[in-house]
Amino acid sequence: MNTLEDQPMNVLAWNTTPFPGSENTKLYNSSGINVYNTLTNVSSVPLAGDNQDAMSPLCPPGDLACTSRRNYIPPVLFSTEVSLYIYSGCIVACVLLTLLRSIFFFKVCMNASIGLHDTMFRSILQGTMRFFDTNPSGRVLNRFSKDMGAIDELLPILMLEIFLVMSGILTMVSIVNYMLIIPMLCVAPIYYKIRSIYLCTAQDIKRLEGVTRSPVFSHVSASFSGLTTIRASGAQEMLRKEFDSHQDLHTSAWYLTIATTIAFGFWLDCVSNVFVGCVTLSFLVFEDGILGADVGLAISQSLILSGMLQYGIRQTAEVVNQMTAVERVLEYTKIDKEQGINSESEKKVPVTWPSKGAIQFEHTSMSYSISDPPVLRDLNFVIEPAQKVGIVGRTGAGKSSLISALFRLAKLEGSIKIDQVDTQTVRLHDLRSRISIIPQEPVLFSASLRDNLDPFNNYQDDTLWNALEEVELKESVESLSHKVNAGGTNFSAGQRQLVCLARAIIRNSKVLVLDEATANVDPQTDTLIQGTIRRKFADCTVLTIAHRLNTIMDSDRVLVMDAGTMVEFGHPYELLQNQGGYFYSMVQETGKSTAEQLYQIAQQV
């Protein structure tokens, strides 16, 4: 399946859906960081001037013109002792206000970041399987790493600096010379226009950089997962070149980001230089009665003012750029969610459901999306309680899709009933918790063995040990607190499958699904798994998907599928009597000797 990252670079920029407008205020409201301004308004203003040299003396050292204007000595308003008290009080107030500002800043930013993270996390946990089929793991990791990192670290600091810089500019202009507001009002619109032009390009480039970063994460994650296979097949050089290709694409986008930022700074510098030049030129045109010290003061203040304005504009532009991280996070909070997750409108089934394990498919059809063709077409069959049913078919026949329909992993038409209860009316959590499955690729978490066997801590230790003994793993582990590595890498493939079997034994569900559970294990482990299932799940309904026909030849029924439809359903021996049937041809394709063995197994059942 072609994903967004597989497309050429010139297409990537247009495949990312931006929020309407270059600066969407919804992003700021959703991030929650804008609340900071209201909380820190009182505590930040007194400190703003301090951060921007606003408290510089009105007459710098060596400024004779300014000194000469002070032709009288002002009266002493306070004694030295009182002045010390005043200054000390100001210092204490400054420290306290700074502390309060920091506390409010930390609290608001943490709440905003945690809120965004948790909302995105819950949304992904409730996302449809279609989302995980079309979004590689690297793209999801990119949202939780780089984008959340920008929200945690960059955005709050940038917004704080903007507030302090703007407050500092106003404070300095008011104290030094309020007439400087006039040239500031002349230069500010030019800065803003340059900023608008810059953002039109920078935001799209920032989105492009985020999109091209995801394949790098995906490639690294996949390479680590298959590191053993890569080394065994000697594919290191091929994977290195593939990684270089992804990295080159991302580096190109990152270079564009840097280049546009430098160009933005260059034009801001040009405007600042023109502004200072105009101020200097004005003294040449209107030179009557102007002292040299006044000229120096005006030029120095112009440099400071233009620098502060330029810095403020840069920071506002950077905030808008970094808000693309919030945009990308919010995109994942609005993904399609599965219907019926703990919904109160769904039916609450009894704790004992299903008590028998009867399964009935009635005109069941399913497709993974509206635009895709159906993968299951009008299935109609009944599985009696405690029956063992083998499901066979060629690749793409719809075997795994049948299990997806049973677990409601995609929207379906028709109905699937378990013990006369339509599964579409049952809460998803209840449905999936009452059916056990042993997949082809066993799933183990980086946790203790006990957490892998009983994630919700519903059973006693004795029950867990008995299950481990049933699958002959009791001697292989020291205790239930035994550490399981990510993916169960400290267990063999067969042992991982046995852990999943032990998990199913503990739950003791009336419906058990085996999705090619023995495809990747040795014959000895296969025999152990099959024997344990026959013994422990004798009273349960077992659905077995298998490519190896010897696995399902002793089943009570065999369901043969092709192109999403049921072509045959019945006892394996009865199906073999139809020499023109689909199942008969599959058995004959295994070879003469193997076909005879399979025929004998089916005859003995």
pLDDT digits (tens, 9 = 90+) for 322-369: 888 888 899 999 888 887 665 665 677 888 898 898 999 999 999 887
Q: Quote the pLDDT of residue 527.
A: 81
516 vs 50 pLDDT, higher one: 516
Burial (CB count <10 Å: 0-12, 13-18, 19+), residue 566: buried
571 phi/psi in degrees, rounded to 5: -65, 140
Domain ranges of the chain: 4-70+78-333, 359-369+376-604
Q: Which residues contact 521 (CB under 8 A, 6 or more apart)?
A: 493, 494, 497, 529
Place of tokens 């820190």: 40
Place of tokens 């800043």: 105
Tell me the CB-side half-sphere exposure of residue 462, using CA atoms within 13 A: 0
In angstroms, rounded to a whole number, what is the distance separating the alpha carbons of residues 596 and 599? Answer: 5
Contact 149, 26 (CB under 8 A): no
User: How is residue 149 written in tokens?
Assistant: 């990192």
In angstroms, rounded to a whole number, what is the distance separating the alpha carbons of residues 384 and 378? Answer: 19
pLDDT at 101 exceeding the cut of 60: yes
Q: Which tens digit of pLDDT belongs to each residue from 104-134?
A: 888 888 898 999 999 999 999 888 888 888 8
* H/E run at residue 261: helix 236-285
In this prediction the pTM is 0.67
Q: State whether residue 364 is helix, strand or coil.
A: strand
CB < 8 Å & 24+ apart, contacts of 121-125: 123/332, 123/333, 123/334, 123/335, 123/337, 124/332, 124/335
Q: Which residues contact 419 (CB under 8 A, 6 or more apart)?
A: 353, 354, 355, 356, 357, 358
Contact 163, 40 (CB under 8 A): yes
Taking residues 308-317, report their average pLDDT.
79
User: How is residue 581 written in tokens?
Assistant: 């049937």
Dihedral angle of Cα 226, 231, 236, 240, to the nearest 10 degrees: 30
User: How is residue 411 written in tokens?
Assistant: 């929207």
Percentage helix, strand, coil for the chain under 3-state DSSP, each rounded to 5 = 60, 10, 30
In angstroms, rounded to a whole number, what is the distance separating the alpha carbons of residues 510 and 508? Answer: 7
Fold of 359-369+376-604: Rossmann fold (3.40.50)
DSSP string, 29-56: HHH-TTHHHHHHHHHHHHHHHHHTTTT-
Q: Which tens digit of pLDDT belongs to each residue from 210-229?
A: 888 888 888 888 888 788 88
Q: State whether residue 220 is helix, strand or coil.
A: helix
> Is there a shared CATH topology between the 4-70+78-333 domain and the 359-369+376-604 domain?
no
pLDDT at 248 exceeding the cut of 90: yes
Local confidence band at 175 (pLDDT 50, 70, 90 cut-offs): low
CATH architecture type of domain 4-70+78-333: Up-down Bundle (1.20)
Taking residues 360-382, report their average pLDDT.
89
- Tell me which amino acid residue 600 is: Q
DSSP string, 548-566: SGGGTTTSSEEEEEETTEE
| Omega within 30 of 0 (cis) for the link into 156 | no
Q: Which tens digit of pLDDT belongs to each residue from 520-530?
A: 777 788 788 88
Q: How many CB atoms within 10 Å of residue 37?
A: 14
**Percent of the chain clearing pLDDT 70 (strictly above):** 82
pLDDT at 2 exceeding the cut of 60: no
593 phi/psi in degrees, rounded to 5: -65, -45
Local confidence band at 543 (pLDDT 50, 70, 90 cut-offs): very high
295 vs 578 pLDDT, higher one: 578
Q: State whether residue 570 is helix, strand or coil.
A: strand
